Amino acid sequence: MAHAGFATTPKPPYYAVIFTAQRTEEDRGYEAMAERMVSLALAQPGCLGAESARGADGLGITVSYWTDLSAIAAWKADAQHLVAQQLGKTRWYDHYELRIARVERAYSGPEGR
Amino acid sequence: MAHAGFATTPKPPYYAVIFTAQRTEEDRGYEAMAERMVSLALAQPGCLGAESARGADGLGITVSYWTDLSAIAAWKADAQHLVAQQLGKTRWYDHYELRIARVERAYSGPEGR
């Protein structure tokens, strides 16, 4: 069953890209670009889904899920994504951490609801 | 340099526990318990840090970082944490996904700010 806001991922192993970022006050075009990048990522070969949350303090976490490292590398090198990455660095993010991880186990719950 | 809200993690490899959860409307004791569990987790042997964000829609992502799988297993079995897990299942979460992943690469930015 699909749950709004959650990625429906297969049995592990697969990969996660964990992107934690603190936004600047600067907003020029951010929302539109963020939405476009999520749509574009989800349409990439090998993308399994994404989950995203941002608090009122501007700290956000987006986790995207991928079949393998080569799919992640192809998305990183996508031309439109490169433009967004550059604007993120110069305009939208005070700080970010990006981690690439291999998902080994997964659980969901609560059971029986 | 430490950045507020970010975990300061060592060079990979290490482990990430990605916990994505949709909150219920039910709030009895949630905030206090959530804060207590973060403090308790950060004090566990093998815990490297944690990052957390929750949006106005109640969807939240918490990623905690650990040295190894045995540290994660010990935290899962912690007595106070077991109580919190049970309340999470019966009271606080409509749905959650928990994924355990091995961090293989990590980057931070933006450079030069």
Q: Does A1 touch chain B (CB under 8 A)?
A: no
Q: Please list the ranges in chain A whose pLDDT falls under 70.
A: 1, 112-113
Structure confidence at residue B28 (pLDDT) = 85
Q: How far is A28 from chain B (nearest CA, A)?
A: 18
CB pairs under 8 A between A and B: 149
Compute the nearest-CA separation of A65 from chain B (Å): 11
Q: Please state, in angstroms and rounded to a whole number, the distance separating the CA atoms of residues B43 and A71.
A: 36
Cα-Cα-Cα-Cα dihedral sign, residues B90, B95, B99, B103: negative
A80–chain B Cβ distance below 8 A for any pair: no
Question: How many C-beta atoms surround the C-beta of residue A25 within 10 A?
Answer: 6
pLDDT computed for residue B1 by the predictor: 61
Q: Token digits for A93?
A: 């993010």
Q: Give the residue from B86, B91, B76 showing the smallest Cα distance to B29.
A: B91
Sheet holding A59-66, edge to edge: A47-54, A59-66, A14-23, A93-109, B93-109, B14-23, B59-66, B47-54
Does A68 contact chain B (CB < 8 Å)?
A: no
pLDDT, tens digit, 9 for 90 and up, residues A99-109: 999 999 999 99
Q: Do A57 and B5 touch (CB under 8 A)?
A: yes
Task: Output the CA–CA distances (angstroms, integers) from residue B8 to B33, B48, B57, in the order listed.
Answer: 24, 7, 28
ipTM: 0.95
- Please indicate if any CB of chain A lies within 8 Å of the CB of B51: yes
Helix (H, G, I), strand (E, B) or coil at A1: coil
Sign of the C-alpha dihedral computed for residues B74, B80, B81 and B83 taken in this order: positive
**CA-CA distance, B1 to B45, in Å (whole number)?**
23
- Does the beta carbon of A66 lie under 8 angstroms from any beta carbon of chain B? no
Q: pLDDT tens digits, residue range B33-91?
A: 999 999 999 999 999 999 999 999 999 999 999 999 999 999 999 999 999 999 999 99
Which of B54, B61, B107 to probe the A interface (max A CBs under 10 A)?
Answer: B61
Please name the residue ranges forming H helices in B4-113: 30-42, 69-76, 79-87
Kindly state whether A95 is in contact with chain B, defined as any CB-CB distance less than 8 angstroms: yes
When comparing pLDDT for A47 and B4, which is higher? A47
Residue B9 in this model has a pLDDT that exceeds 60: yes
- Is residue B112 pLDDT above 60, yes or no? no
pLDDT computed for residue A42 by the predictor:
97
- The pLDDT score that the predictor gives to residue B85 is 96
pTM of the entire predicted model: 0.95
Q: A52-83 burial by CB neighbour count: b if 16+ within 10 A, else e?
A: bbbeeeebbbbbbbbeeeebbebbeeeeebee
Query: Contact at 8 Å (CB) between A78 and A72?
Result: no
Tokens read off for B15: 């482990």
Choose among A60, A97, A107: nearest Cβ to B53.
Answer: A60
